[in-house]
Amino acid sequence: MSNLTKILKKNFDASYHQQLILAGDLADSMNSKVYLVGGAVRDVLLGKSVNDIDLVVVGDSEDFADQLAIKLGGEITARSQFLTAKISFSDFSIDVASARRDYYPYPGSLPQVNLVKSIDQDLVRRDISINAMAISINRNTWGDLIDPMNGEDDLYQRKVRILYKRSFRDDPTRMLRVVLYSQRLGFPIDENTKDLIPKNLRYLRRMAGWRIFITFKHILRESDPHKILDEAHSLGILRSIHSSLELENVDLDQLKLITKFDGENSHFVMLSILVSSLAELDSKKLIRRLKMTGRWIRVINDTQSLKKLVKVMSAEDLLNSKIFDLLSNLDVASLEAMYLISDSDLVRSNIRLFLDKLRFLAPELNGDDLIKLGFPEGPYIGKVLKNLENLVIDGIVKTREDEVNFARGTLTDL
């Protein structure tokens, strides 16, 4: 059995390292066993920085999580029915789970969870071998690598491999995860694993949308989401999730354009690029299929609305205030996406102008100022403010004094 004491010290940030020591001591005092598992082990072995810490406890994980939160000065921010807890600190979090085994009553169903008494049993139910390793952090066994599925070998052989034949059938989202890690790490998918994908695609069709959506979000947040989507596409995975994601509907070359974007929320921009080639009806179906929520829905709907504006937006002599009116209610991510994909220079420059400048412009005066100037309370104030906004955006009114003069001028219209 390898011992990773040195690697842990070298590749782990000192403060994380200390937290692990404290967690191990706590487990010792509770007669439990505790392990660092999953992505952190994989990334430590690869010499990459670790952002999330997942711990698995053989023993009472709820009590352990409560006490660990107190010991480390964090707060329990989530618990789930699967005996997991999240301890949050100001800038990172630790997930604590009980060692468990899953049973899938039917393909793609939610697992039924049973607690188990050894870490090995917990590891063999995971997705891929390089994610199925654990490192013991109890004091006496500190640094021992537990690797029942030979993940370490696969890591050095650069291979993404599932753990058992029925894995995709039990949880079809693993097909997406296989592609995700293969593309992120640049590791080919193991041949047997790859052969199993076409045979299991049909299980994706019946899979609950919200579960696919979790993995879908994970993918869009990756630094090269277009590569993952592209590969998921060629393997037939996307179209098995929903017919709207058929090959001919999605413009694969457009996905690459995300690499030209370096702002925030690139996952929403990627989403917008992806759905921009879909017909409106299909994008609505996709929202329903994946049970999307919140801003995800908004970005998709706004992407469709924006497509309808392209014609107006390509006019030569649009007033800035007109551009503002057309675009100001749309999600910024859908605008950034259209900026990347549009082949009209005018559309692109109008969007850029809005994003970089117009959207930040506003009159200095507000409703209260107008009342002080003698305006009666009521809808007229809104109209004056809107006019002022247009004038500011068109650069006709430049200073607060100009605004006051303009407003006073309109008082006489009353």
**Residue 127 contact partner, candidates ligand ATP, Mg ion, none, CB within 5 to 8 A by sort of partner:** ligand ATP
> What residues are paired with 85 via a beta bridge?
79, 96
Asked whether position 86 contacts ligand ATP by CB under 6 A, the answer is: no
Q: Minimum distance between the CB of residue 384 and ligand ATP, rounded to whole angstroms? A: 52
145-146: strand order across its sheet: 75-80, 84-88, 93-98, 53-58, 33-37, 134-136, 145-146
Strands 84-88 and 75-80: antiparallel
**Residue 173 contact partner, candidates Mg ion, ligand ATP, none, CB within 5 to 8 A by sort of partner:** ligand ATP
The only residue of 24, 38, 172, 225 in contact with ligand ATP, by rule CB under 6 A: 38
Cβ pair 128, 178 in contact under 8 A: yes
Site string for ligand ATP, 159-178 (x = CB under 6 A): ------------x-xx--x-
Cβ pair 161, 190 in contact under 8 A: yes
| Three-state secondary structure string covering 114-141 | EECCCHHHHHCCCCEHHHCCEEECCHHH
Q: Minimum distance between the CB of residue 408 and ligand ATP, rounded to whole angstroms? A: 59
With respect to Mg ion, which residue has the nearer C-beta, 92 or 142?
92
Asked whether position 52 contacts Mg ion by CB under 5 A, the answer is: yes
The only residue of 11, 54, 290, 340 in contact with ligand ATP, by rule CB under 6 A: 54
CA dihedral of residues 244, 245, 247, 249 (deg, nearest 10): 50
* Crossing angle of helices 266-276 and 209-220, rounded to 10°: 110
The only residue of 2, 17, 22, 39 in contact with Mg ion, by rule CB under 5 A: 39
> What residues are paired with 101 via a beta bridge?
114
Helix (H) or strand (E) segment spanning residue 64:
helix 61-72
With respect to ligand ATP, which residue has the nearer C-beta, 36 or 299?
36
Q: Which stretch binds Mg ion (CB under 5 A): 33-41, 221-229, 261-269, 303-311?
A: 33-41
The only residue of 33, 86, 100, 126 in contact with ligand ATP, by rule CB under 6 A: 126
Q: Minimum distance between the CB of residue 137 and ligand ATP, rounded to whole angstroms? A: 16
Which residues of this chain interact with Mg ion, rule CB under 5 A?
39, 52
